[in-house]
Amino acid sequence: MVNNDRTKDHMLSQVELIEVTRKFGNVTAVENANFSLPQGSVLTILGPSGCGKTTLLRMIAGFDTPTSGEIKISGQPVQAVPPYKRSIGMVFQNLALFPHLTAGENIAYPLKMRRFPIADIPGLVEHYLGVVRLAGMQDRRIHQLSGGQQQRIAIARALSFNPDLLLLDEPLSALDKKLREEMQLEFRRIQQEIGVTTINVTHDQREALVMSDEIIVMADGVIQQSADPISLYRKPSNKFVASFIGLTSLLQGKVVGVKDGLEIQVSNRRLLGHSSSSFSNGDLVEAAIRAEQVRIYAEQTAPKEMDNVLEGFVEEQIFEGDRMVYQVRCPAFASTPIFVFDHDPSHHLLHHKGDKVILSWNQRDLLVYPQSD
């Protein structure tokens, strides 16, 4: 269930999926999807291309029909309800704005289609232009608007008839990085101001973390984990989620001790790790360590108090402005590299390609999963 401890029992479930499966011939695009989304919240469905997230969104919108299972919106089954009769606003990846209409006419279009009183339409257009901070631009042609302004017009059009549900199908994917990050914050501001229940589909993990109350991670048509952003990032339920969210190094090994904390053998090195699963000696495992949880030092400055300390050599050094990314090869791990973030590169010692370094991290930060996951 997508609901977490912050969700109150009395809150209405705006969208509910019960054992929803969609097959295309012998291919299962979505398998036994279950979640319940409280009214007024934002859910992001996150995953790589082909994982089933867009198929899931299309079934909620009514553009596709489940092979089995049930979808409810506002407590009512909607399988027999066509898309145009569902109270859903949608922003598509290509925005689908009408180039021959003005910005105001684009916003007015769904109002006219739903036969809103003609006298009310100009006021609603003006209101939603204000919501997206484009007041006074109703007469602009679409080609006269910037990419970010076009995004806002698409949002205003989707919201203009006060839908019960807003669906976003990767609408930011075509924008450059800076504008995409600005629009993520703008989407969040608009949603909080309007309070519309929203489902967003993306492969961008930052977008999911920034915009969402809840996140579902999908792979191969299956929901891998559903949680709030902080829990998802800090407590990934399996190695796929751990590797998909953030920059993570994965180490294969086996359990060699379980009495005084979990001890695993990786190549010719023993490491201390943490897991919510139970293991026995000899179990094959995969351990995940996030780049920001690894500390990097010159050999003479390495601390002694960390749980896992090992030597390595810098293979790559990548400057990203606010951080330095190091790829380190550790002889103890054979061919598996370890990634490290330094978020204060202007004040810390710079490690160059070929430098010998010491890496360290705490036991609680090395997350251990069954290798079969």
Binned average pLDDT, 10 residues per bin, the chain of 373 residues: 38 88 96 95 95 95 96 92 91 90 96 94 95 94 92 94 93 86 91 94 93 96 96 93 93 90 91 91 94 88 80 93 92 90 82 93 94 70
Q: Does residue 7 form part of some domain?
A: no
pLDDT of residue 320: 87
The answer to whether residue 322 sits within a structural domain is yes
> Both 129 and 173 in a single domain?
yes
Overall size of the chain counted in residues: 373
Instruction: Tell me: do 172 and 229 sit in the same domain.
Output: yes
pLDDT of residue 7: 38
Assess if residue 60 is contained within a domain: yes
Is 160 found in the same domain as 52? yes
Same domain as 99, residue 198? yes
Q: Element (H or E) spanning 22, and its range? A: strand 13-24
- Domain end: 203, 223, 239, which one? 239
Predicted local confidence at residue 251, as pLDDT? 94
Residue 302 is predicted with a pLDDT of 64
Same domain as 311, residue 215: no
For residue 273, is it within any domain?
Answer: yes
CATH assignment of the domain containing 338: 2.40.50.100
Task: For residues 232 and 347, state if they share a domain.
Answer: no
Residues 172 and 53 in one domain: yes
Q: Is residue 2 part of a domain?
A: no
Same domain, 337 and 231: no
My answer on whether 24 and 136 are in the same domain is: yes
The span from the CA of 15 to the CA of 197, in Å, is: 9
One domain for residues 263 and 235: no
**pLDDT value at position 106?**
96
Single residue among 218, 239, 260 that ends a domain in this structure? 239
Report the C-alpha gap between 81 and 250 in whole angstroms: 46
Domain count, the chain: 2
Kindly state the tokens that stand for 360: 């360290």
Q: Could you tell me if 209 and 155 lie in one domain?
A: yes
Please report whether residue 359 resides in a domain. Answer: yes
- Could you tell me if residue 6 is inside a domain? no
The SS3 call for residue 194 is helix
Residue finishing a domain among 239, 258, 285: 239
Based on the domain organization, do 89 and 182 belong to the same domain? yes
Backbone angles phi, psi at 168, to 5 degrees: -120, 115
Q: Which long-range contacts (CB under 8 A, 24 or more apart) does 139-146 make?
A: 139/102, 139/103, 139/104, 140/102, 140/103, 141/99, 141/102, 141/103, 142/97, 142/98, 142/99, 142/101, 142/102, 142/103, 142/106, 143/99, 145/103
Contacts 24+ apart (CB under 8 A), 250-253: 250/286, 250/287, 250/288, 250/336, 251/286, 251/287, 251/288, 251/289, 251/333, 251/336, 252/284, 252/285, 252/286, 252/287, 252/336, 252/371, 253/284, 253/285, 253/286, 253/287
Q: Classify residue 223 as exposed, middle or buried by CB count within 10 Å of its CB (0-12, 13-18, 19+).
A: buried
What's the domain range around 62? 13-239
> Is residue 307 packed enough to be buried (19+ CB in 10 Å), middle (13-18) or exposed (0-12)?
middle
CATH number at residue 58: 3.40.50.300
Q: Is residue 8, in this structure, part of any structural domain at all?
A: no
User: Which two three-digit tokens encode residue 329?
Assistant: 């090869």
Residues 6+ apart with CB under 8 A from 362: 293, 306, 307, 308
